[in-house]
Amino acid sequence: MGLLDRIDEPRDLDALTPEQLTALAGEIREFLVQAVSRTGGHLGPNLGVVELTIAMHRVFDSPRDTLVFDTGHQSYVHKLLTGRRDFSTLRQEGGLSGYPSRAESEHDVVENSHASTALSWADGIAKANVVRGHSDRNVVAVIGDGALTGGMAWEALNNISAARDRRLVIVVNDNGRSYSPTIGGVAHHLDTLRTTQGYEQFLDWGKRTLNRSGPPGRFAYEWLHGLKKGLKDVVAPQGMFEDLGMKYMGPVDGHDEQAVERALRVAKSYGAPVIVHVITEKGRGYRPAEEDVADRFHGIGPIHPETGLPIAPSRFGWTKVFADEMVQIGRRRPDVVAVTAAMLQPVGLLPFSQEFPDRTFDVGIAEQHAVTSAAGMAFAGLHPVFAVYATFLNRAFDQVLMDVALHRAGVTFVLDRAGVTGADGASHNGMWDVAMLRIVPRLRLAAPRDESTLRAALRAAVDVDDAPTVVRYPKGSLGLDVAVLETVDDLDVVAVTGPEDATRRVLLVGVGPMTQTAVDAAATLGEHGVRTTVVSPTWILPLPSALVKLAGEHDLVVTVEDGIASGGFGALLGEHVVAQGHPTPVLPLGLGTEFLDHAERPDIVAAQRLTPADVAGTALAALTRES
């Protein structure tokens, strides 16, 4: 029986010796490598916070003390220390979430896996503790150096720094990376703090000198304090934090559990906001991750634990098509520039950055800034392409509306992971974009169904210089191109089934990757004697006028999309059909307006009744009701 098997709740850590804590850290790393290599998940970030998480749970009393993890993908060690050791179905339906989950444990608080939010959560909880008279409760926020590039984190720091009565400890987990190396002024500042040794060495010398020559009492204190103040900004410029009025401690070796524990105990005793700067190594203790410069182990699929190589090589996917087409566009168009929010490789902009480094801008985890900066670049004669996960564009809606659309800026937004993402859970499903963006004046949105339409949509998008354009596509591999039977009024007809003389006629509209679902559903409807036509418009916003006319020529219209049905594309089509006076009912099929638990995409699609059989059955039931 190992040490980890004896940890059912955080207080079980109290009885362990320093030697046992070191052994426990080793066991946890071995457990993570073996478990996550089978299921996939965020391996590198969790290997880097083992000692830090142990120290936090030894110093603080969760859940009485509140622990908040920024983004939460580094919470696996926290899960283990709070009694959750069954990782066999991690990120799978019914298994552990890849992020903190209130449904799993009272030790989990913030489920949202969007970055740079933890400090605001911690500020609010600490304020509530004061108002409610809980003067003995602490709040601890763990935020990475990457998340400190987000503006919301600095809004929170601005408020936290004004507090003197809140028991709040901010742990800056500094590993120099988010998804990729951290960029910007914050990163440079932390680099300086991280690499400066002379300051603490000079203070140690001063203490030894005082002890030896022995200036007594108050004089000794003032002498040492003056020495510290005079040297602080020269050899250890932590003034950025202390100028905010916040106590700064560090840097601390994040893999020395005892050192981290000592620092946290001092911070806890201070009774007011304190920043503890901890230096960690992402992927610590697992050689393939330690030696990986591309950060492939931030989030992985199943791998061979011995080598770190994927068990099943990834298939050619949507992101790779975008990456290739973006480079080709860049070669033809010197005005096209790329923008990313700390996700250069995940969104497919790495090849573009390698060929056009001076035309690639990584702004850090700062989606709002990215969008408005892109508007500025468009005003000055460039055409920015901002590639971002669909769920993260939610954070910058105001900027899309007021800075880009209002100013008629030619900016292209490429939404990766649109629709059902799956294993990353509620906060990562990119299911809100169409319903959100359909209200933006002049915005044009494409939902390509395959490789050919993705390439064509991207080329068309960057040709628009007087309005925002959006190209959305899902996570995962690409199938074969969907064959087009004919094009009628710019609408691609991809399937026609059932007898020509059928008395019932249905129009199925497949949106983007749901086109194949519509084609398969049409085959079933045809077998039931229903004349079914399947169309797949690439550009869905603004609504194609030809589609409204075509809808009026059928007995029923069914739209199939992988965004929310309420307020989505199908709902928009239904509104226009009614406005044109057509009696044809429009049945929008899509995702429910709810937060979807983590599961694989096929499981979610089935649960939402969006399989071909479901679509066909729903259409047949609607025809029966109408007859």
Binding site members for Mg(2+): 145, 175
> What is the C-alpha to C-alpha distance for residues 397 and 393, in angstroms, rounded to an integer?
7
| Nearest one of 425, 386, 472 to 114, comparing CA atoms | 425
Task: Please state, as a whole number, how many other Cβ atoms lie within 10 Å of the Cβ of residue 86.
Answer: 11
Task: Spell out the residues 6+ positions from residue 332 whose beta carbon is closer than 8 angstroms to its own.
Answer: none
- For the stretch 137-170, what's the b/e string if a residue is b when 16 or more beta carbons lie within 10 angstroms of its beta carbon? bbbbbbbbbbbbbbebbbebbeebbebeebbbbb
Do 47 and 76 contact (CB within 8 A), yes or no? no
Q: What is the number of alpha carbons within 13 Å of residue 445 lying toward its C-beta?
A: 26
Do 355 and 329 contact (CB within 8 A), yes or no? no
> What is the C-alpha to C-alpha distance for residues 228 and 221, in angstroms, rounded to an integer?
11
Q: What angle do CA 276, 261, 298 make, to 5 degrees?
A: 65
Do 558 and 589 contact (CB within 8 A), yes or no? yes
DSSP per position, 67-80? EEESSSTT-HHHHH
DSSP SS3 for 532: strand
> What is the C-alpha to C-alpha distance for residues 625 and 466, in angstroms, rounded to an integer?
46
* Cα 556–chain centre separation: 38
DSSP SS3 for 361: strand
Distances (CA, A) of 45 to 58, 287, 297, 299, 309: 20, 14, 8, 9, 18
Q: Which ranges constitute the DSSP H helices of 177-317?
A: 185-195, 198-213, 217-235, 239-242, 257-270, 287-290
Paired with 150 in beta bridges are none
Task: Spell out the residues 6+ positions from residue 346 whose beta carbon is closer than 8 angstroms to its own.
Answer: 179, 319, 389, 416
DSSP SS3 for 504: coil
Do 397 and 433 contact (CB within 8 A), yes or no? no
**Is 16 exposed, middle or buried, given 0-12, 13-18 or 19+ CB atoms closer than 10 A?**
middle
Q: Are strands 168-174 and 247-253 parallel, antiparallel or unpaired?
A: unpaired
Sheet strands side by side (includes 491-497): 486-488, 491-497, 531-535, 505-510, 556-564, 586-591
Q: Are strands 444-446 and 539-541 parallel, antiparallel or unpaired?
A: antiparallel
Active site residues: 282, 367, 395
Sheet strands side by side (includes 469-472): 360-362, 336-340, 383-389, 412-416, 469-472, 444-446, 539-541
